[in-house]
């Protein structure tokens, strides 16, 4: 495998843009990435486009990538859609990495776009992809993460206040991110007293819906030197799917454990060497769980870990300096590549008011999708990507 | 009577047709490796055998593994309602289940639960659908 670098990134602001088209959002992000990399559009040899719910919401199952890139003068090359639940964008990034690492191409693009406000019925949550029976029986994503929280509180003594601190930290970080959807700080009390969705998750414990796009340009180490003096190295890009396990524990996502172990091994470093992480905080208990499963703290100590301040900007391992999904929103196909954009800005020292000083190594983590299973199953897809300055 | 009502999905549970009958969940047990699945499935993911899975009634007694109470309901449901995962120790299963209790506030991890069949929700036409639930025994 060859060493692969990221030489350009782009991202639209995340928010609710029902009047815009998903193609327009995609083009804005791709154009920014091309300009950031200073690469002519015609040099792109292949593109991988993450999008997850465009079939249901926009009557477009396929082809977002081709349509986005056509207008930017990129056509004729291999372009494919990548759908993998919440990890659609990060899986597209991993496919792009693989295509360069393998030696097949020298310079490629990963992009992701989603427009969740396009949903047909206003004010109702989009039901989860592919879990028809569970949904008929009353399931929704917050019911899964609320049960994670209940069992974590029972087994490890995690508190509602500790869960709320995830939202407090991420909302505070977002105040420094002009591309985040919600840029207003909240207090623990405000999180706890917000309307109850699924106990113990209140409205402020859940990531909002949203629209947006993000893109990254990847190329071989040799070629990177032609375009930039500061390439960001892809030290690892790992994809796993959920394992079928009898009577598994709900308080760990084994996919995250397995993906991060492999990523650390491939990158030749351990969690203690990370300077910054963007993790999949779809609901507040998820971030607590990810601390533990990524090895940032021991199992069961995630609640105490956030309370210690370790994951704030200025702490030992700042998590979600961008504001996370909780502040940005979660346009599924774009989320994973937006995490990559944030890490690239952090590792270049371009993250402005939310900069993690001296960040050299960053980790991005996505986890999502549910199995249509009446036996307790873990999430369907997990990615862990490690970038180095 | 419940027997006249539509189940949320065919093949998940047995609806009693006489007062003597008891409801049960319909599982599948692999003749080849002995593993039990819920619901019954065609292939055994444990030993990759096909055609070895036989229908078995699952035990009606369980232990609450985790739960949640929903306060903002999806269409067709009335809040509050509860969902959980219930352990069936006899079959070594941890299964998804709507929960029932006289007071949802009494739900506690580790408590004993018992299978019942009750109205769950309404379909789009407003007709009630019945489903298995686990009811708190305490
Ligand atoms: Zn078997």
Share of chain B above pLDDT 90, in %: 79
**Residue A98, token pair as written in the block:** 């693989």
Q: What is the pLDDT, as a whole number, of residue A36?
A: 98
Gap between the Cα atoms of A34 and A29, Å rounded: 9
Cβ contacts (< 8 Å) between A150 and chain B: which residues?
66-68, 109
**Which band of pLDDT confidence, cut at 50, 70 and 90, is reported for residue A359?**
very high
pLDDT of residue A125: 57
Same domain, A348 and A218: no
pLDDT in tens, A298-347: 999 999 999 999 999 999 999 999 999 999 999 999 999 999 999 999 99
Encode pLDDT of B111-135 as tens digits: 999 999 999 988 888 888 999 999 9
Give the closest-approach CA distance of A276 to chain B in angstroms. Answer: 32
Task: Note if the bond before B80 is cis, omega within 30 degrees.
Answer: yes
Q: What is the pLDDT of residues A364-374, one digit of tens each?
A: 999 999 999 99
Q: Are residues A257 and A217 in the same domain?
A: no
A56 and A173 housed in the same domain? no
Q: What is the ipTM metric for this complex?
A: 0.96
Nearest-CA neighbor of A139 among B113, B62, B68? B68
The reply to whether A81 and A181 lie within a common domain is no
The 3-class SS string of chain B reads CHHHCEECCCCCEECCCCCCCCCEEEEEEECCCCCEECCCCCECCCCCCECCEEEEECCCEEEEEEEEEECCCCCCCCCCEEEEEEEECCCCEEEEEEEECCCHHHCCCCCEEEEEEEEEEECCCCCEEEEEEEEECC
Handedness of CA A21, A23, A29, A31 (dihedral sign): negative
Interface of B with A in 59-88 (CB under 8 A): 65-75, 77, 81, 83-85, 87
Same domain, yes or no: A95 and A149: no
Q: Are residues A115 and A171 in the same domain?
A: no
- Domain residues for the domain of A40 are 4-119+210-232
Distances (CA, A) of A317 to A35, A291, A304, B2, B38: 31, 10, 14, 56, 42
Determine the average pLDDT of the residues in A112-139: 82
Around ion ligand 1, residues with a beta carbon closer than 5 Å are B 30, 32-33, 44, 46-47, 49
Asked if residue A220 and residue A169 are part of one domain, the reply reads no
Convert the pLDDT of each residue in A87-99 to its tens digit. Answer: 999 999 999 999 9
Q: Can you give the CATH number for the domain in which A328 is found?
A: 3.40.47.10
- Residue A23: both structure tokens together: 């193609």
pLDDT digits (tens, 9 = 90+) for B76-98: 899 999 999 999 999 999 999 99
> Which residues of A are tagged catalytic?
86, 330
Same domain, A225 and A295: no
Asked if pLDDT for residue A127 goes beyond 80, the answer is no
CA–CA dist A328, A334 (Å, integer): 11
Set of chain B residues whose Cβ sits within 8 Å of the Cβ of A195: 71-72
On whether both A216 and A272 belong to a single domain, the answer is no
> Distance, in angstroms, between B31 CA and closest chain A CA?
18
Query: In A, which residues are within 8 Å of B67 by CB distance?
Result: 147, 150
Q: Is B60 exposed, middle or buried (0-12, 13-18, 19+ CB in 10 A)?
A: middle
Which residues of B fall within a CB distance of 8 Å from A139? 83, 96
Same domain, A220 and A303: no
Closest approach of chain A CAs to the CA of B95, in angstroms?
Answer: 4
Q: Six-digit token pair at A191? A: 């999180």
> Does a structural domain hold residue A126?
no
Q: Between chains, do B83 and A197 touch, taking CB under 8 Å as contact?
A: no
Do residues A266 and A236 make contact, with C-beta atoms less than 8 angstroms apart? yes
- Residue A362 belongs to some domain of the structure: yes
Q: Give chain A's domain count.
A: 2
**What is the per-residue pLDDT for A269?**
98
**Domain check: are A347 and A373 in the same one?**
yes
User: Which residue's entry shows tokens 């991988």?
Assistant: A48
- Residue A290 belongs to some domain of the structure: yes
């Amino acid at each position: 495998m060859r060493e692969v670098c990221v030489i350009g990134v782009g991202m639209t602001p995340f928010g609710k843009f029902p009047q815009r088209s998903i193609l327009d959002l995609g083009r804005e992000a791709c154009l920014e990435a091309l300009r950031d990399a200073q690469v002519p559009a015609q040099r792109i040899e292949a593109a991988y486009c993450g999008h997850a719910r465009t079939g249901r919401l926009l009557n477009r199952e396929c082809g977002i990538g081709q349509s986005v890139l056509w207008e930017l003068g990129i056509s004729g090359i291999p372009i494919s859609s990548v759908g993998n639940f919440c990890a659609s964008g990060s899986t597209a990034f991993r496919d792009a990495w693989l295509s360069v690492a393998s030696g097949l191409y020298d310079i490629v693009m990963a992009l992701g776009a989603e427009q969740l406000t396009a949903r047909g019925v206003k004010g109702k949550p989009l039901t989860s992809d592919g879990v028809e029976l569970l949904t008929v029986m009353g399931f929704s994503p917050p019911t899964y993460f609320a049960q994670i929280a209940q069992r974590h509180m029972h087994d490890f003594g995690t508190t509602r206040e500790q869960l709320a601190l995830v939202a407090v930290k991420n909302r505070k970080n977002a105040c420094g991110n002009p591309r985040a959807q919600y840029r207003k700080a909240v207090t623990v009390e405000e999180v706890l007293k917000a309307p109850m969705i699924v106990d113990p998750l209140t409205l402020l414990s859940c990531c909002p819906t949203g629209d947006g796009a993000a893109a990254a340009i990847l190329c071989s180490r040799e070629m990177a030197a032609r375009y930039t003096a500061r390439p960001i190295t892809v030290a690892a890009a790992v994809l796993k799917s959920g394992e079928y396990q009898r009577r598994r524990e709900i308080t760990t996502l084994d996919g995250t454990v397995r993906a991060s172990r492999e990523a650390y091994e491939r990158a030749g470093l351990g969690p203690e060497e990370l300077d910054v992480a963007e993790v999949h905080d779809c609901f507040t208990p998820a971030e607590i769980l990810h601390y533990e499963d990524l090895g940032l703290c021991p199992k069961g100590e995630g609640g105490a870990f956030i309370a210690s301040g370790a994951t704030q900007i200025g702490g030992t391992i700042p998590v979600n300096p961008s504001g996370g999904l909780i502040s940005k929103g979660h346009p599924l196909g774009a989320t994973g590549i937006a995490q990559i954009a944030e890490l690239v800005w952090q590792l270049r020292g371009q993250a402005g008011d939310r900069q993690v000083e001296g960040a050299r190594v960053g980790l991005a983590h996505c986890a999502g999708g549910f199995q249509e299973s009446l036996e307790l199953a873990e999430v369907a897809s997990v990615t862990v990507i490690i970038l180095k300055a | 009577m419940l027997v006249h009502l539509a189940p949320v999905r065919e093949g998940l549970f047995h609806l009693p047709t006489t007062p003597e009958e008891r409801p049960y969940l319909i599982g599948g047990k692999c003749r080849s490796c002995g593993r039990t699945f819920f619901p019954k499935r065609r292939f055994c993911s444990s030993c990759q055998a096909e055609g070895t899975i036989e229908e078995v009634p699952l035990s009606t007694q369980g232990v609450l593994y985790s739960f949640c109470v929903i306060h903002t309901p999806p269409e067709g449901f009335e809040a509050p309602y509860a969902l959980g995962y219930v352990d069936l120790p006899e079959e070594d299963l941890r299964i998804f289940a709507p929960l029932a209790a006289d007071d949802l506030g009494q739900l506690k991890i580790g408590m004993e639960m018992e299978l019942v069949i009750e109205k769950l929700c309404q379909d789009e036409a407003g007709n009630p659908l019945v489903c298995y639930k686990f009811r708190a025994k305490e």
